[in-house]
Amino acid sequence: MSAPHTPAAAPPLPAEWSRTATTVVMPTYNEAANLATMAEALMALPLEGLRLLVVDDNSPDGTGAIAEQLAEKYNEPGRTRVGVLHRTTKDGLGRAYAAGMARAVAEGASYVLQMDADGSHPAEKIPELLGVALATGADVVVGSRYVPGGSLSDAWGVHRKALSRWANAYASTILGTRVRDITGGFNLWSAAALNAIDLETVDSAGYSFQVEMKYRALKAGYTVMEVPIHFEDRTAGESKMNLAVQLESVVMPWRLRTRSARASGHRPR
């Protein structure tokens, strides 16, 4: 007798698409409680070409060593599925992403996906993001909390939700973009877009990286598509958000706007 058939939540991608070289770049700082679960969810996806690159800033809780153990667990001779980029000091999420994305492209990724290590971003949405990129030719696909169908964790109170919405509207308005989730951190990039953005010159050390990257992509003429996601509260561990990175996020949209106006020879609006 054959095993009962459980329908998949979503149809798989065509086999050829599932082999696309896609690297998930995951910055970590003290994510020992979360990393193994994240890796397991990613490695179980029906995406043959998927790799994980952990970018660890010498986490005191031993996340870097856990990442090495995961590499040992999932890598096979001739097939690297998990890589680790060790950096010496905590240098901000933006810097970790820029280094990891550059490494991923140098190692041959056609697409790079940014993803937090804390369980906030839904791994099961990755095939859809990749499918949208491949089907439409879009070079940037945003996993979006703020398009219809997108949502925020119910664990977030009214104030936190309002602050997140406000921060998003703030950056979008100053920069005059129509991206609904410009602050979001679950985004897929083509290697071509990353090359055009020139990661080495990205200014943001912290969370404003998300805004700066999308703005640079738009300015370079790339289309940004948005796919709805549900954003969960972090599963375990502590937030790394602090006043310095929040201030950078307040100032950065103005800086980007001024710089862009100067480059095009116009006075800032």
Ligand X SMILES: Nc1nc2c(ncn2[C@@H]2O[C@H](COP(=O)(O)OP(=O)(O)OP(=O)(O)O)[C@@H](O)[C@H]2O)c(=O)[nH]1
Binding site residues, ligand X, CB under 6 A: 27-29, 31, 55-57, 90-93, 96, 116-118, 120, 234, 239-241
CB of residue 85 to Mg ion, shortest distance in Å:
20
3-state secondary structure of 30: coil
Nearer to ligand X, 56 or 128 (CB): 56
CB of residue 244 to ligand X, shortest distance in Å:
11
CB of residue 71 to ligand X, shortest distance in Å:
16
CA distance linking residue 188 with residue 24, whole number of Å: 9
CA distance linking residue 88 with residue 96, whole number of Å: 11
CB of residue 116 to Mg ion, shortest distance in Å:
5
Q: Which does 6 bind (CB under 5 to 8 A by kind): Mg ion, ligand X, none?
A: none
Report DSSP state, residue 199.
G
Nearer to ligand X, 22 or 120 (CB): 120
- Is residue 54 packed enough to be buried (19+ CB in 10 Å), middle (13-18) or exposed (0-12)? buried
**H/E element holding 43?**
helix 35-43
**H/E element holding 54?**
strand 50-56
Contact 98, 68 (CB under 8 A): no
Site for Mg ion in 113-142 (CB under 5 A): 116, 118, 120
Nearest residue (beta carbon) to ligand X:
239
Nearest residue (beta carbon) to Mg ion:
118
CA distance linking residue 189 with residue 192, whole number of Å: 8
Closest CA relative to residue 180, chosen from 149, 134, 156: 149
Q: Which does 240 bind (CB under 5 to 8 A by kind): ligand X, Mg ion, none?
A: ligand X
3-state secondary structure of 25: strand
Number of residues this chain uses to bind Mg ion (CB under 5 A): 4
Give me Rg for the CA atoms of the chain. 18
Q: Which does 241 bind (CB under 5 to 8 A by kind): Mg ion, ligand X, none?
A: ligand X
CB of residue 267 to ligand X, shortest distance in Å:
34
Nearer to ligand X, 92 or 143 (CB): 92
| Interface with Mg ion (CB under 5 A), residue from 161, 234, 240, 259 | 234
